[in-house]
Amino acid sequence: MSDTTKAKPASTPQGFFDKHYHVLRRLHSLTGIVPIGVFLIAHLTTNSSLLWGKWGLRHEGHDETIVSGGVHYFWKEVQWINNQIPHLLLIEIGLWLAIAFHSVLGVYYARSGKSNTARYAYQGNWRYRMQRLSGYVALLYIFYHIATLRWGWSFLVPGGAKWSADFAASTLAAALRGSNEGFTAMGIAVSLFYFVGITASVYHFANGLWTAAITWGLTISQQAQQRWGFASFALGVGLMGMAWASLAGALLTKPSEMQRIELQLLQEKGKGGAMPGEGAALVDATPLVNVPSDPEGTQPAAGGS
């Protein structure tokens, strides 16, 4: 074998990948689950409250509609995340780094294979292909999602809405619709992109959970792999339901209507009613509630959800 082995200089990227091959591979697998996958579960739970919030608030004696309960519960969750979690920004940066790491290596690994589903149209082979495709889609989607809603790159948002924690649901909905009222053409495109993006992300995570158990050697026998396959599938179906519920919750109500509810919440909590930054222009056209003047900072809290 020695005659076929040529030592490569260790300074090349190839050399770096080869030297730390195993650790990088397994860190890639691990980051897909912790923290990214775990965050995905928490994130979809929060976001889907836009649809199930009404029931979440019942024990507090509220009797709300699905829409007001959803906006209310989601608003509470987002407020909690932004005000109660210590070092939120540090946690977020850790998460972004993990996503960047997993994505860069993911693209590198995905490019090392050559799909052959045309010849070998087995289910497993399709899952393999979709795992790579959904990775690429998730990469584009997650980048757009974070850049627009978290980093405030509103030039990428049709209608220019800027997300704010005080107007969590309405600014999200406005970013999806492209306006504070009906859907614009670009808004429909963004909403469809969201649908494809979250669907790909959930598939990718669920299938990744299944393959990760093989990678680490947790499931060995065919039966064990199959059992874990069912479990991953069930988790995937549940998460897909939550992902679609989140999107439905964000799309089914007009942002202006959501904003009316949020203004009430802000007034009740004594936070006054700061209009969301860039989205304000959209709102001003249709004043729905009289906004009391706000002595303390008029800037809405920015933060993640």
Partner 1 sequence: MIQTLTSTSSAALAASNRRIAKQGRTVQVSIKRCDGPNKPSRWETFKVTTERGMNVISALMQIAANPTTIDGKQTTPPVWDSGCLEEVCGSCTMVINGKVRQSCSCLLDDYVPNEGDTLTLEPMSKFPVIRDLWVDRERLFHNLKRVKAWVPIDGTYSLGAGPRETPAKQETRYKLSECMSCGCCLEACPQFNVEEDKAQWDTSFIGAHAISQARLFNEHETGKQLKDERIDVLMGPGGVNDCGNAQNCVKVCPKHIPLTESIAAIGRAVTIRSFVKFFKG
Residues that bind partner 1 (CB under 8 A): 1, 4-6, 17-18, 21-23, 25-26, 109, 112-116, 119-120, 122, 124-125, 127-129, 131-132, 211, 214-222, 225
**Rule CB under 6 A: is residue 132 a binding residue for ligand HEM?**
yes
Calculate ∠ Cα 39-189-95, nearest 5°.
20
Residues 24, 27, 33, 235: which binds ligand HEM (CB under 6 A)? 33
The residue among 106 and 159 lying less far from ligand HEM, judged by its C-beta, is: 106
**Beta carbon of residue 127, minimum distance to partner 1 (angstroms, whole number):** 8
- Quick note: the x/- pattern for ligand HEM over 160-199, rule CB under 6 A, is ----------------------------------------
How far is residue 94's CA from residue 85's CA, in Å, rounded to a whole number? Answer: 14
How far is residue 261's CA from residue 257's CA, in Å, rounded to a whole number? Answer: 7
* Residue 102: contacted member of partner 1, ligand HEM, none (CB under 5 to 8 Å, by partner type): ligand HEM
| 118-144 exposure pattern, b = at least 16 Cβ within 10 A, e = fewer | eeeeeeeeebbebbbebbebbbebbeb
How far is residue 95's CA from residue 229's CA, in Å, rounded to a whole number? Answer: 27
Ordered DSSP codes for 103-154 = HHHHHHHHTT----TTT---HHHHHHHHHHHHHHHHHHHHHHHHHHHTS--G
Residues 103, 170, 199, 305: which binds ligand HEM (CB under 6 A)? 103
The residue among 135 and 303 lying less far from ligand HEM, judged by its C-beta, is: 135
**Beta carbon of residue 133, minimum distance to ligand HEM (angstroms, whole number):** 9
* Residue 252: contacted member of ligand HEM, partner 1, none (CB under 5 to 8 Å, by partner type): none
**Rule CB under 6 A: is residue 91 a binding residue for ligand HEM?**
no
Distances (CA, A) of 60 to 35, 50, 73, 82: 32, 17, 11, 22
How far is residue 58's CA from residue 197's CA, in Å, rounded to a whole number? Answer: 32
* Residue 62: contacted member of ligand HEM, partner 1, none (CB under 5 to 8 Å, by partner type): none
Report H helices in the chain.
13-19, 21-31, 38-56, 66-84, 88-110, 123-149, 168-177, 185-215, 222-251, 255-268, 280-284
Which of 235, 227, 243 lies closest to 207 in space, CA to CA?
Answer: 235
Q: Which two tokens stand for residue 38?
A: 């775990």
**Beta carbon of residue 133, minimum distance to partner 1 (angstroms, whole number):** 13
Residue-level length of the chain: 305
Please report where in the chains the tokens 């209310």 appear, as a residue.
72
Calculate ∠ Cα 172-197-47, nearest 5°.
40
**Rule CB under 6 A: is residue 43 a binding residue for ligand HEM?**
no
The residue among 236 and 273 lying less far from partner 1, judged by its C-beta, is: 236
Query: How many chain residues touch ligand HEM (CB under 6 A)?
Result: 26
CB 79 within 8 A of CB 198: no
Residues 268 to 297 in contact with ligand HEM, rule: CB under 6 A: none
- Quick note: the x/- pattern for ligand HEM over 197-236, rule CB under 6 A, is ----x--xx--xx-xx--x---------------------
Stretch that binds ligand HEM, among 13-21, 27-35, 88-96, 294-302 (CB under 6 A): 27-35
* Residue 221: contacted member of ligand HEM, partner 1, none (CB under 5 to 8 Å, by partner type): partner 1
Looking at this protein, which amino acid is placed at residue 27?
L
Binding residues for ligand HEM, rule: CB under 6 A, are 29, 32-33, 36-37, 40, 102-103, 106-107, 109-110, 131-132, 135-136, 138-139, 201, 204-205, 208-209, 211-212, 215
